Structure 1
Amino acid sequence: MGAIAYEQDYYGWTQEQSNLMKARKVNEIDWEHLIEEVESMGLRERKELVNRLRVLLMHLLKWQYQPNYAGRSSWERTIKVQRKEIFYLMKDNPSLKPEVPASMERAYNFAIDDAESETGISASHFPQESPWTFEQVMDVNFWPESVE
């Protein structure tokens, strides 16, 4: 195994493991931690999808339930940015596609709480399941109709 300890110098460990792989020194690679890191990289992408959907869905809820709010232009910008970020995340990680339904569900559950916190509107006032599909929320022409 390499000389740099995973737990003591993570960055140094990553550089060492990279160099060992480039040199094809397979017997010196810290396989246990390397496998753990590769698996966690995939989880990070899924978490990013959930977090970006969470922000997008919360802003769509605020857009729908607070149509006269003065800060709508900043919401519009956030919605556009999140759509673009999610688009590129999915383009760069097409294997995330099967994760979309579960990610939407998880993100929406958080978005309801976030929207309640930011608007003062009770979470019970919002639909308990997302009223929109992934395709709808990603559609640049989709803006939910107001509910007052």
Structure 2
Amino acid sequence: MSAMKAAAVQTRSGTAYEDDFYTWTQEQGARLRAGDLSALDLANLAEEIESLGRSEFNSLVGAWRVILLHMLKFDHQPDKKTRSWAISIAAQRKEAEFILKDNPGLKRRLDEALERAYHGARLGASKETRLRLKRFPETCPYSLEDIRSRPFPVDPDDPIA
């Protein structure tokens, strides 16, 4: 153990969460590893652990938002569809797949993630296409199956699923 980590474990008060988050995280980690549970900042540590879970949920929402944005653009501006939209959909599908594989507990929140993702995608599609927001349905017109597997070929010689 480095001298700095040893000093962090020995210091009961340590760095305040509000003063230096990075140093606080290093001290808390050192205390956990040393088994010095009585010196942990339990309230803030619990909040940070919960925050890690929220960030996984937000990553799923973000991946789906990009997919839905491009799906809306494909459906509302089919004459402007591009290969980059199809590639973006494929990449974000893979990202969402990895997130769900690594975090199976998120499966019980799929409907909530879809609702949040669609809200952002709808606004983004209106901005990017310059079409009025009311042109896009208020609720998501796509199923989870559509999001996961609907094909998006740009031309017959280059099908991208």
TM-score by length of 1: 0.89
State the match for 2:86 in structure 1: 76
State the match for 1:21 in structure 2: 32
State the match for 2:152 in structure 1: 143
Report the structure number with the largest CA radius of gyration. 2
Q: Percent identity?
A: 39
Residue 56 of structure 1: how far off its partner (Å): 0.9
Higher relative contact order (CA 8 A, sep 6+): 1
Residue pairs, 1:55-74, within 5 angstroms: 55-69=66-80, 72-74=82-84
2:117 to 103, 107, 110: 107
Letter in 1 for 2:130: G
Residue pairs, 1:18-57, within 5 angstroms: 18-57=29-68
In 1, the alpha carbon distance for the partners of 2:138 and 2:44 equals: 40
Residue 133 of structure 1: how far off its partner (Å): 1.0
Residue 79 of structure 1: how far off its partner (Å): 0.6
Structure 1: 5+ residue runs without aligned partners? none
Letter in 2 for 1:143: F
Letter in 2 for 1:66: Q
1:118 to 102, 125, 128: 128
- 1:37-68: CA deviation from partner (whole Å, max 9, x where unpaired): 11111111111111221111011110111112
Structure 2: 5+ residue runs without aligned partners? 1-11, 154-161
**Shift >3 Å, 4+ stretches:** none
CA contact (8 A) 1:2 1:17 kept: no
- 1:47-100: CA deviation from partner (whole Å, max 9, x where unpaired): 11112211110111101111121x611111111111011000000100000111
CA RMSD of aligned residues (A): 1.6
Residue 107 of structure 1: how far off its partner (Å): 1.2
Residue pairs, 1:126-137, within 5 angstroms: 126-137=136-147
1:5 to 10, 13, 16: 16
Letter in 1 for 2:90: K
Residue 127 of structure 1: how far off its partner (Å): 2.0
Residue 2 of structure 1: how far off its partner (Å): 4.1
Question: Tell me, what secondary structure is at the counterpart of 1:27?
Answer: helix
Letter in 1 for 2:43: E
TM-score by length of 2: 0.82
CA contact (8 A) 1:2 1:29 kept: no
In 2, the alpha carbon distance for the partners of 1:90 and 1:45 equals: 9
